[in-house]
Structure 1
Amino acid sequence: MKKWWQKLAQSLMVLAMLGLPLQAAQASDFFDETFGNLQDELATAKENGKQGVFLFFEMEECPFCDRMKKTILVQPEVIKYFKEHFLTYQIDIEGASTLIDFDGTEGTSQSISEKKYRVRATPVMMFFDLEGNPTARYTGPTKTADEFMLLGKFVVEGIYKEMSFTKYKRSVTTDTAAQ
């Protein structure tokens, strides 16, 4: 009889050969690393063929941010979709680290979050085009991964140019219910 650890090792080898992840995704898998220079990040987004940059404004004690990071930003389809279309960064609205904004404005992540983007409650999710212009903003957590994916598609497909996310979400829900 094989020992339990030999069976475990065999199972892990099979998973690895199938290309399946050996551990669950984490929110850190969703976010890209940054050195705090959004001008550089924008240039990287252009070089990598992305459609823009996604910023997740958060703070440490925010239960809504925590829920998003533990239940939505860990979904493999969410990670894949956002990594395909955007560079994704988290911004601590209470942070003291230096941040250089898309236009070259330099300050702390706290001062830029408050003064420039008027982030007061978290999470706030903002999308920026390849010129550093904001295209969409969503305040508060999304209820589900599907709603978060819909928000991404709202930006990727350029629907933000025609209507608000609320109106878009209603139209998609109405269309789905009619089918």
Structure 2
Amino acid sequence: MEIPFQWSFPRRLHALAVLFLGLCLSVAVHAEIFSERTEDLAQQVKLATGQGKQLAVLFEQDGCDACARLRRNVFSDKAAAKRFASTFRTVSVDLGREDGRVVTPDGSPQPLREWAARLRVPGTPALLFFDRDGHILYRHVGPLTDGEALRLLARYVVSGEFENQPFASFLASHRSAAAAKHSLQGDICRTRS
């Protein structure tokens, strides 16, 4: 006579714990990048450093079609988002708020639009990358069209290639010229005065 397999209580508890952990990790991995809005970038640099990452900040504003397309067509690419999030802590700031203030990565409180102007952010979308000391590494203004362009932008920043060539050239060297040109096409949304 065959005895059916029975799990002991500790084995059942262990299996449930593993299942719960897997669910938690899958939710964390699939969280949309740049979903957290913040005004305190100094705190975000500290959090990024604690996670062994650099900080990527998305400047966006309501009513910006290019920002909506970026979220819909690029950030929704789960593989690209997962890879990007493994390297960068991602947050966004709302450049459309006329009264917006921000604590900059170096800890100084400033009007958001004035700070963005000093960083040469003429409109949205714009992605700014900061090192672990809060210094700007690279600024990308304008749209990206797909997850592959986002992955290449991450590689471009992490490798330091921004010191050697423009992103369009880097992109062209990793894609066909036509695909690279298409990856950067589109307008930016000017900040309202």
TM norm structure 2: 0.70
2:114 aligned with 1:111: yes
Instruction: Give how far 1:99 is off.
Output: 1.1
Evaluate the alpha carbon distance shift between residue 32 and residue 40 of structure 1 in structure 2; reply closer, same or farther with a 3 A threshold.
farther
Evaluate the alpha carbon distance shift between residue 135 and residue 57 of structure 1 in structure 2; reply closer, same or farther with a 3 A threshold.
same
Partner AA of 1:33 in structure 2:
E
Q: 2:103 aligns with which of 87, 92, 100?
A: 100
- Partner-residue secondary structure (3-state), 2:121: coil
Partner of 2:47: 44
Evaluate the alpha carbon distance shift between residue 65 and residue 157 of structure 1 in structure 2; reply closer, same or farther with a 3 A threshold.
same
Partner of 1:134: 136
TM norm structure 1: 0.74
Partner AA of 1:120 in structure 2:
P
Partner AA of 1:41 in structure 2:
Q
Q: Is the 8 A contact 1:58 1:90 kept in 2?
A: yes
CA distance in 1, matches of 2:175, 2:74: 20
4+ runs of 1 displaced by more than 6 Å? 16-19
Q: Is the 8 A contact 1:55 1:89 kept in 2?
A: yes
Partner of 1:158: 160
Q: Is the 8 A contact 1:53 1:127 kept in 2?
A: yes
Supply the RMSD in Å over aligned alpha carbons: 2.6
Partner AA of 2:169 in structure 1:
K
Partner of 1:68: 70
Q: Which runs of 5+ in 1 are unaligned?
A: 1-15
Q: Is the 8 A contact 1:62 1:122 kept in 2?
A: yes
Instruction: Give how far 1:106 is off.
Output: 0.9
Partner of 1:12: none
Evaluate the alpha carbon distance shift between residue 160 and residue 33 of structure 1 in structure 2; reply closer, same or farther with a 3 A threshold.
same
Q: Is the 8 A contact 1:34 1:41 kept in 2?
A: no
- Partner-residue secondary structure (3-state), 2:76: coil
- Partner-residue secondary structure (3-state), 1:99: strand
CA distance in 1, matches of 2:46, 2:152: 26
Q: Is the 8 A contact 1:42 1:132 kept in 2?
A: yes
Q: Which runs of 5+ in 2 are unaligned?
A: 1-18, 178-193
Q: Is the 8 A contact 1:126 1:138 kept in 2?
A: yes
Q: 1:173 aligns with which of 175, 179, 190?
A: 175
Instruction: Give how far 1:130 is off.
Output: 1.0
Evaluate the alpha carbon distance shift between residue 143 and residue 32 of structure 1 in structure 2; reply closer, same or farther with a 3 A threshold.
closer
Evaluate the alpha carbon distance shift between residue 57 and residue 77 of structure 1 in structure 2; reply closer, same or farther with a 3 A threshold.
same
Q: Is the 8 A contact 1:53 1:86 kept in 2?
A: yes
Aligned residues: 154
Instruction: Give how far 1:160 is off.
Output: 1.9
